[in-house]
Chain A
Amino acid sequence: MQSETFTHLLLPRPEGLYCPAGDFHIDPVRPVARALITHGHADHARAGHDTVLASRQTLDIMAIRYGPDFARVTQAAEGRMDLGGVEVSFHPAGHVLGSCQVALHQGGVTAVVSGDYSRVANPACAPFEPVPCDLFVTEATFALPVFKHPPPQDEIARLLASVRAFPERAHLVGAYALGKAQRVIMLLREAGYDTPIYIHGALQRLCEYHIEQGVKLGDLRPATMDKAEAKTLREAVVIAPPSAFASPWVQRFTDPVVGFASGWMQIRGRVRQRGVEMPLVISDHVDWPDLTGTLRELNPEEFWITHGRDDALMRWAALEQRRARPLHLVGYEDEAE
């Protein structure tokens, strides 16, 4: 089969991946008539589409972010659906709460658009489901062999060791509001850290939603204390979106340890650039071994690369004699921050 074999099912357009046979887009970056959304991160789930099909949780998350009227019509994905003669089904991607891959079947051909995905266990969402396919569409955020994410438990152990060594210095952890923040909280709880965790206001609503969905986060308190109260904290962990570190909000803490939970923290230059003292390599994307392992496991006829470090992945495909195509889609961030 050649790339052309798949183009009735899927092709790249400036607004995102498009299915001509079913006349719909997947994770479009501009408003379209019908959008299928893999997960709630802002670069994949945008407001302004007429009709949106996504998992129940992704629809809820979009409503939290954009208001209940973010689309004229919404539909929660369930089982196998028929969209203009294309059979569509959603499958867990293991990335964040509600995240799914989208599988398209027509005329004996299956294409899977994975969105962002991870193969590391995450209690907030169902694990990635390998769906046998002819065409697999993957991201390549961490597609360099230098990216090998350590077990997240080890990273949290380092954080907690520092919290205990410097009890009077509040440990501020930068984490994206959807997924990463809750992940860090869950990992802390799993490691036995059971005192209240302080969260920035921007995380409030999404943490509440996780709790409503049955994800246990323990005792969370708003990080709105004044300077005097902040000084009295001992062994405190505060989670905030990274943008908060540039705002006056952070000035309430005296001599904090600034951390950042991200796959990028594996690169020392990035740590320095951001002025991070406690880098935590915690990612909700596949690293190089998991990405190449997934491609070997699924062994598709062909794979497409939406965005990221596609040159290295193309080289790997050549070495492995696999057929691959870079799409250079624009509008997706490397790893949402």
Chain B
Amino acid sequence: MKRFADLLERLAFTPGRNAKLALLERYFRDTPDPDRGYALAALTGGLETGQAKPALLRALVAERVDPELFALSYDYVGDLAETIALIWPERGTPRDVPLSEVVVTLSGAGKTELPALIARWLDQMRPSERFALIKLVTGSLRVGISTRLALTGLARIGTVPLDEIEELWSGFEPPYAPLFAWLDGGPRPEVTAKAPFRPVMLSTPVTEADLPALDPAAYAAEWKWDGIRVQAVSEGGVARLYTRTGEDISGSFPDIVERMHFDGALDGELLIRREGLVAPFSDLQKRLGRKSPGKAIIASHPAALRLYDVMTWDGEDLRALPWTERRARLEAAVAGLDDARFDVSERLPFGDWDALASLRADPPDAVIEGVMLKRLDSPYTAGRPRGPWFKWKRDPMIVDAVILYAQRGHGKRSGFYSDFTFGLWDGDMLVPVGKAYSGFTDEELNRLDRFVRNNTIDRFGPVRSLKARLVVEVAFEGLNRSTRHKSGVAMRFPRISRIRWDKPAEEADRLTALTDILDGMGA
């Protein structure tokens, strides 16, 4: 548990992706089985812990610490698990309780045994281990790394390519003994689990300038929908819905899973659809946040699948076939399903790139974020090969905003003010509308950094409040209404596309520039 607690702590405070990968690699390399397997499950949200309620922990600590001193401490620390981890009185000699002991014991423990069990472990642990334990037993461990990052770190301990690990790993149960044996140089294990995830084929971005080099007759085009990419697998009576990183989200979408009456693996876009109309991404987000949605939200936010591809069907692996053949198989398969929740992504007719450009410029639906190009002869290849599939995104929306706050960056940008909050005019006030971290060159970063240092009004910890005098052009991919932001809007993927050193702040855009777009979308 000590190693696992150390890993969690460092991951929590380490901002850089490479540093996180190095930490994961070291952990998986140095930690024995079965602990590293359970850790992998914990990091990817696959551990069935969470038997204890916070009230149980409060009761345990109340037996040991004066309630008023506890209340003062909790008030100061602000997190229940952290307060208990720190305040728990040390007794006896600490023991490095294996993570596997915790997971295995918890899975077999009855409700009445829990308090004594947890108290004994807490007695034997140090604060950072206690923190990890409490988060585990209450099911509230949030590591803040993606499944893909965890698997990428894992792949580094051996020579097995990441996509092969992605294909196999979810077919095993924690602690994944056959998987680790394979990574350590053993034989490739047989997957016996039903309906496993298969690694997804991804596209690379393309711009107008790249197109003349490509033959339009060699590509098919489809709309790029703004939902989430999913894989629907139903095999041997087991149906599962996965995200493109292999996360199982079946529990969040029972309305899809219970309708998967087929045998195969389909690739598509998960959307919210009401009477044939696709709802904005923010509606889908409401469903994504719920592990077990209630009847009301399932009825008001019905999920649907718009299918792009077929990977397997009736026991046959179709991934090696060219796209045109898979497309024909997909159309036949979906026709046979006869369910309005499943449809096939429309194929766009176009003669040349100009024709496609005009389609892209005026999509029939606001939830379309561009077009996809797929080579007619492309097999379904895991990962992100460059060439067979392209995404040609709609041009971003743009506003001119004023920089209001700056924060120091991390990693390679340590010491540079590189994270910016920008705002738009609302009356004679500037209202913050978003944050951007990217879009500038190293040279611009230097100049921005100097600007921040010379135009600071106030400091709050690492944040500086600035004189309203620098305008930046912000590009973004979409807009949602938001109750969490004071401005009432939230941008998707905002980044700085140009620094307008020349433009006076008074000439920046008004907040209505965004609200008008939202009104126009009917959102």
Contacts and interface: CB of A to CB of B under 8 A. Distances in A.
A31 to B, nearest CB: 28
B73 A258 contact: no
Given A146-B87, A312-B69, A276 B415 contact: no
B79 A269 contact: yes
Contacts of B69: 144-145, 312, 315-316
Nearest to B409: A275
Nearest to B26: A165
Interface stretch (B11-19, B214-222, B375-383): B11-19
B73 A145 contact: yes
A309 interface: yes
A311 interface: yes
A174 interface: no
B355 interface: no
A266 to B, nearest CB: 7
A251 B86 contact: no
A146 B86 contact: yes
Contact of A268 (B79, B408, B462): B79
Contacts of B12: 268
Interface in A141-189: 144-148, 150, 158, 162, 165-166, 169
B112 interface: no
Interface string A290-319: 000000000000000000010110011001
A277 B462 contact: no
A272 interface: yes
A274 interface: yes
B410 A277 contact: yes
B187 interface: no
Contact of B412 (A254, A258, A312): A254
Contacts of A69: none
Nearest to B18: A255
B502 interface: no
B414 A255 contact: yes
A232 interface: no
B86 A277 contact: no
Given A269-B78, A277-B15, A315-B69, A253 B415 contact: yes
Interface string A251-280: 101111110000000111101111111110
B408 A144 contact: no
B461 A274 contact: yes
B22 interface: yes
Given A146-B83, A277-B15, A253 B414 contact: yes
A201 B6 CA distance: 33
Interface in B58-104: 65-66, 68-70, 72-73, 76-79, 82-83, 86-87, 90
B77 A146 contact: yes
Contacts of A158: 6
Given A271-B13, A272-B13, A273-B462, A248 B72 contact: no
Nearest to B446: A251
Contacts of A316: 69
B73 A312 contact: yes
How extensive is the interface on chain B, given as a class? 35 or more
A255 B22 contact: no
A146 B73 contact: yes
A245 interface: yes
Contacts of B14: 277
A257 B410 CA distance: 9
Interface in B102-151: 126-127
B66 A258 contact: no
A23 B8 CA distance: 55
A252 to B, nearest CB: 9
B410 A144 contact: no
A1 interface: no
Nearest to A312: B72
B414 A256 contact: yes
Contacts of A249: 415
A228 interface: no
A258 B414 contact: yes
Given A145-B87, A255-B16, A269-B77, A275 B416 contact: no
A255 B73 contact: no
A278 B414 CA distance: 14
By CB atoms of chain B within 10 A, which of A144, A246, A315 has the most?
A144
B387 interface: no
Contacts of A277: 13-15, 19, 410
B411 interface: yes
A311 B72 contact: yes
Contact of B73 (A144, A269, A272): A144
A268 B8 CA distance: 12
A312 B126 CA distance: 23
B462 to A, nearest CB: 5
7 contacts: A146-B76, A146-B83, A251-B414, A251-B449, A256-B414, A273-B462, A275-B408
The 4 A-B pairs at the shortest CB distance, nearest first, are namely: A250-B415, A146-B86, A251-B415, A146-B73
Interface of A: 144-148, 150, 158, 162, 165-166, 169, 245-251, 253-258, 266-269, 271-279, 309, 311-312, 315-316, 319
Interface of B: 6, 10, 12-16, 19, 22-23, 26, 65-66, 68-70, 72-73, 76-79, 82-83, 86-87, 90, 126-127, 408, 410-412, 414-416, 449, 453, 461-462
Given A245-B408, A267-B77, 8 more contacts: A158-B6, A246-B462, A249-B415, A250-B414, A272-B13, A277-B14, A315-B72, A316-B69
